[in-house]
Amino acid sequence: DAIGALRDFVREVQSGRASFTQVVTGNDGARKKPSTGTFEFLRPNRFRFDYVKPYEQLIVSDGTKVWLHDQDLNQVTVRPYDQALGSTPAALLAGGSIERDFTLANQPDEAGLQWVLAEPKNAEGSIRKVRVAFKGKELAAFEITDAFGQRSRLDFSRVEANPAIPATRFRFVPPAGADVLQQ
Amino acid sequence: CQNLAPVVRPEGASHSGRLAVQVDGDAARSFSASFELHGRPEAGWMALANPLGAQIGVAEWSPAQAVRLRTPDETRRYASLEDMAEELTGQSLPIAALFDWLEGRPWPARTHQAGGADGFEQLGWDVRTDRIADGLLVAVRAQPLPRVTVRAKLDGR
C-alpha cells in the first residue's frame, strides 16, 4: 500500500533527482500559472528546488539552514531549517524520521497513483496537510494544503533514485551584490 | 483542515508576482514572498505565499469593513492598511498606492512630485518605474530611518 511505498522510499532511496511541474489551486478553484524546475535531495534534510519557469528562484537546504534566492529581486533569505517555508513537505521527502513527525494514512488511488496522507504532528504554521503519491515504488507527486485551503501540487517526472549527488550541491553562497536577510 | 471561506474577488486590478521588503538593520521585519493583489485601494485583498505555494496571510478590506488579516493561526483587524503594515513590519508600507505604482504611475488620491525619467516621489517614497515594462518596481523610503526598500516583480513580464 502507499504507506508501505513511503516507508520503502525513505529507507531505500537516500538521494533523488526529478523534474517537477507545480500547479497552485486557490480555495476558489482558480488554478494559477504552473511553474517548472528540478528537485534534488540527499538524506537527511538536504534538498534543492531549482525553479526555472515562469521565473528563476532557488531554494536550498543544507540540513541546517534553508536559503531562498530570488534572482529578479536580487534577494537571499536565510532561515533555520525547522522554521523555513514550512519545511514540512521537504522533510517528508528528504527527512529520515517521518513516523515521528507525521501521522500517516492510506488514501484511495487516484489516476493510477497510490496516495498517502501525512498530517504534521505539530500543525502550526502555514501547512495543514501533505499528500505524497507513488506509482508502484516510484515517487510520482506531492501536494500541500495550506490553512486557507489552497493546494499546491508538484508532479514529478524523469525520476532518478539514488543518483550520485555531491553534498556541495546543497550548499549555497549568495552572489555578490545580493541583499542577504538572515531570519 | 478548517477551510476558511473563499475570498471574494472585488472589482478592479489584479497583480501577482514576488515582493521583497527590506528594512535596513532589521532582518526579522524584512521578508520576501509571492503575492497577489486584487481590487483597488478602497476595496480589495492581498495574499502572501511561500515559494511552495502555501499562503502565509490574506488581508481583505472594503469601505464597509476595516482591514481583516487572516493568518494560518488567527484573524486580526486593523483600522487601515498602514496600521496593519506598521504592526507587521514596523513600517508604514504604501499598500494602497501599489495598485497604481505597479502600473508605473502615481496614486491619484495623493500628491506627488515628478522624479525625472526614473519615476516620481510620493508619500515619502522614491518610486522608480524605469523598469516597469519588465515588471520590476523599486520604491525606497530613505527618511525617517531605517531605510526601507520595497521591490516587486510582476509575473509574466
pLDDT band at A123 (very low <50, low <70, confident <90, very high): low
Q: Assign A159 a pLDDT band (cuts: 50, 70, 90).
A: very high
Q: Identify the pLDDT of residue B139.
A: 97
A134's CB contacts (< 8 A; 6+ apart) are: A2, A5, A6, A9, A113, A114, A116, A140
For residue A73, pLDDT beyond 80 = yes
pLDDT above 50 (res B2): no
Is the CB of residue B140 less than 8 Å away from at least one CB of chain A? no
Instruction: Give residue B8's pLDDT band: very low, low, confident or very high (50, 70, 90).
Output: low
- The predicted model gives B126-152 an average pLDDT of 95
pLDDT score of B156 more than 70: yes
Using a pLDDT cut of 90, give the percent of chain B over it: 71
pLDDT of residue B19: 94
Question: Which residues of chain A are within 8 Å of residue B30 when distances are taken between CB atoms?
Answer: 181, 183
* pTM (two decimals): 0.88
Confidence of residue B60 (pLDDT cuts 50, 70, 90): very high
Q: With 0-12 CB in 10 A as exposed, 13-18 as middle and 19+ as buried, what is A30?
A: exposed
Q: Which residue of B has its CA nearest to A129?
A: B1
CB pair distance less than 8 Å for A125 and B72:
yes
Region A92-111: mean pLDDT is 87
Could you tell me what percent of chain B has a pLDDT over 70?
94
pLDDT, mean over chain A: 90
Q: Enumerate residues 46 to 105 of chain A having a beta carbon within 8 A of any beta carbon in chain B.
A: 49, 51, 54-55, 57, 59, 68, 70, 72-75, 77, 85-86, 89
B3 pLDDT exceeds 50? no
Q: Tell me the pLDDT band of A147, cut-offs 50, 70 and 90.
A: confident
| pLDDT at B79 exceeding the cut of 80 | yes
Give percent above pLDDT 90 in chain A.
66
> Which chain B residues have a beta carbon less than 8 Å from that of A125?
72-73
Of A66-80, A96-110, B5-19, B94-108, the least confident:
B5-19
**Per-residue model confidence (pLDDT) at position B1:** 40
Q: What pLDDT shows up at residue A97?
A: 76
Q: Following DSSP, what letter does each residue of chain A receive, concatenated?
A: -HHHHHHHHHHH-SEEEEEEEEEEE-TTSPBPPPEEEEEEEETTTEEEEEEEESS-EEEEEESSEEEEEETTTTEEEEEEGGGSTTSHHHHHHH-S-HHHHEEEEEEEEETTEEEEEEEESS--SSEEEEEEEEETTEEEEEEEEETTS-EEEEEEEEEEES----GGGG---PPTT-EEEE-
Residue to substitute from B9, B24, B32, interface A, most A β-carbons within 10 A: B32
Cβ distance of A28 and B153 shorter than 8 Å: no
Least confident of A71-85, A104-118, B43-57, B135-149: A71-85
